[in-house]
Amino acid sequence: AAEEGIALVDKDEQGVDRAFREEVLTGLSYDQKAVPARWLYDDDGSQLFEDITQVEEYYPTRAETEILTERGADFANAIGPGRAVVEFGSGSSVKTPLLLRAIDPAAYVPLDIAGDFLRAAAADLAQQFPGLAVHPVEADFTKEVALPPETADMPKLGFFTGSTIGNMVPRTGVDLLRSMRATLGAKSMLLIGMDLVKDRKVLEAAYDDAKGVTAAFNLNLAHRINRELDGTIPVDALRHEARWHDDYARIEMHLVATRDITFEVAGRKFAMAEGESIHTENSHKFSRRSAFMLLRAGGWTPLQRWLDRQERYSLILCRA
Ligand code: AVI
């Protein structure tokens, strides 16, 4: 059964996430304004991201689901039963049942920063797998996380889907992989999704869908800043933009000012000239070599790699 979960997010007396305030204020004071992408995921943002995974142009979720659906026997062989599956940034955990059914784990530990969303999803999953111990942990998984004591003696399998590693610059990605290794322990494995470099038109469309769901996801960050940090950002003066940056092999999301604006956040004043932007997300894309190099730098040895039929996306199994 799902537990209440352990709250590990640091909030002040007003319930404001301290790290959110610090990182927004710092990021808005840069020449190129930037807010780390993890702040896109409050409860509304997490729901909007789930909506993105359903839009026509956004292929990564479908490609990854296809691999998880069709390669169950491979995973069972390569991973074996009895592990505690630790899912980093579990969200609504829609892909999780595919893996759990394939490998027969001893426990499931979803980690996510969006607490309400996490607990609802964990309860749902516990219902689908009545015999499985489910221990949700509300945590910022960019740092080492203390796992529930019930899982102490079980070998772990980290599960990090969706190519979320691509949302980090390589240096941060390496730090995260190393934290994961510290969280999971010496005998652990990691199954990680990594999206592949491809035609830039396909990539730009995936991050700027015709229905405007990705735009709403990006703009939600400005709404969140206004809601949680006493912000006065005129959201109607911002537009969503997705740009491919070839040297960095990444899609960048920006909120671009459509006119000169001034606003306040947490009592501090900011200004943006027309055309200036807040950089809100990077989504790096990988080749086989660049993926393996990043994983090795993070302390993981790649063992096996699977692609979807159209070869747009990869799932890679590593050992610590
Ligand atoms: C969660 N992450 C891997 C998504 C991505 O593809 O970079 C977030 C996203 N941003 C816009 N669309 C999807």
> pLDDT (tens digit, 0 to 9) for every residue of the chain, 320 residues total?
333 334 456 777 777 889 899 999 999 999 999 999 989 988 899 899 989 999 999 999 999 999 999 999 999 999 999 999 999 987 666 789 999 999 999 999 999 876 777 888 888 899 999 999 999 999 888 889 999 999 999 999 999 999 999 999 999 999 999 999 999 999 999 999 999 999 999 999 999 999 999 999 999 999 999 999 999 999 999 999 999 999 999 999 999 999 999 999 999 999 999 999 999 999 999 999 999 999 999 999 999 999 999 999 999 999 99
Atom 4 of ligand 1 has which residue's CA nearest to it? 164
Q: What pLDDT, on the 0 to 100 scale, is given for residue 6? A: 43
CA of 312 to the centre of ligand 1 (A): 15
Residues 259 and 290: beta-carbon distance below 8 Å = no
CA of 52 to the centre of ligand 1 (A): 8
Ligand 1 neighbour 162 (Cβ under 6 A): yes
Q: What pLDDT, on the 0 to 100 scale, is given for residue 92? A: 61
Q: What pLDDT, on the 0 to 100 scale, is given for residue 9? A: 63
- Amino acid identity, residue 310? Q
Ligand 1 neighbour 163 (Cβ under 6 A): yes
CA of 258 to the centre of ligand 1 (A): 24
Atom 5 of ligand 1 has which residue's CA nearest to it? 283
Q: How far apart are CA 162 and CA 52, in angstroms?
A: 12
Ligand 1 neighbour 46 (Cβ under 6 A): no
Q: Between β-strands 107-112 and 84-88, what pairing exists: parallel, antiparallel or unpaired?
A: parallel
**Residues 10, 297, 59, 88, CA torsion sign:** negative
